[in-house]
Amino acid sequence: MKEKVAVILSGCGVYDGAEIHESVITLLRLDQRGAQVQCFAPNIEQLHVVDHYSGDEMDESRNVLVESARIARGKIKDVRELHVDDFDALILPGGFGAAKNLSDFALSGANCTVQPDVLAAAKAFADAAKPIGLICISPVLAARIFGNGVECTIGNDHDTAAALTQMGAVHRECEVSEIIEDSARKLVSTPAYMLAQSISQAASGINKLVDRVLELVHGG
């Protein structure tokens, strides 16, 4: 039976949305493994818009759901339509959108909150003991989803790891090609572009994460 996996995106582009390489690698690996995938995103305005050529902030507004549809080739739904009973697992790629749109970690650090619709969806998977994969910077959401004591990784960035610890998570350092698993919570995380210097390096850990999430669907 094909696994059904929900993927939550946070826009389109590393500096203000979902990291495109990470998102595509995730979707590709899920397809290679025969999983059925549905993308979701919150129907909200982005924190801001960044010119990915110059790196400068732009004086315009964009919608996270509309921008995420670029990656999903239009096949995307409002995260409010994400019902845990319809899926076996959940994966969140990284990119600054996870820290700017899915949460306010980029502004508030350890005092951050998670966008309510995203938090409700993710907590539903956690409460149902269904596997969750968090990639790159998205593990900053882990403590808000699972509570204190959750084990995860963002690689080895000291400041970000310290913020995770302050939030109640247990940070474990991890190489780009590896994953960290919190077996009790069925949470898998990998650093990806928190450490990766190339798309192939990012893929090495993401592929392992996807594979492990799918294994956990069947009891690991």
Q: How confident is the model at residue 219 (pLDDT cuts 50, 70, 90)?
A: confident
Phi and psi (nearest 5°) for 23?
Answer: -65, -45
Reduced to 3 states (helix: H, G, I; strand: E, B; else coil), residue 104 is: coil
For residue range 39-62, list pLDDT tens digits in order.
999 999 998 989 999 999 999 999
How many folded domains does the chain comprise? 1
Residues 169 and 144: their CA atoms lie apart, in Å, by 9
Is the predicted pLDDT of residue 1 greater than 80, yes or no?
no
Phi and psi (nearest 5°) for 158?
Answer: -65, -45
Q: Mention every residue, 6+ apart, whose C-beta is less than 8 A from residue 54.
A: none
What pLDDT score was predicted for residue 49? 86
For residue 165, the enclosing domain spans 4-217
Quick one: average pLDDT of 63-82?
A: 98
What residues are labeled active site? 136
DSSP 24-49: HHHHHHHHHTT-EEEEEE--SB-S-E
Residues 21 and 9: their CA atoms lie apart, in Å, by 12
For residue range 150-204, list pLDDT tens digits in order.
999 999 999 999 999 999 999 999 999 999 999 999 999 999 999 999 999 999 9
CATH of the domain at 28: 3.40.50.880
What pLDDT score was predicted for residue 202? 98
Is the predicted pLDDT of residue 220 greater than 80, yes or no?
no
What pLDDT score was predicted for residue 119? 98
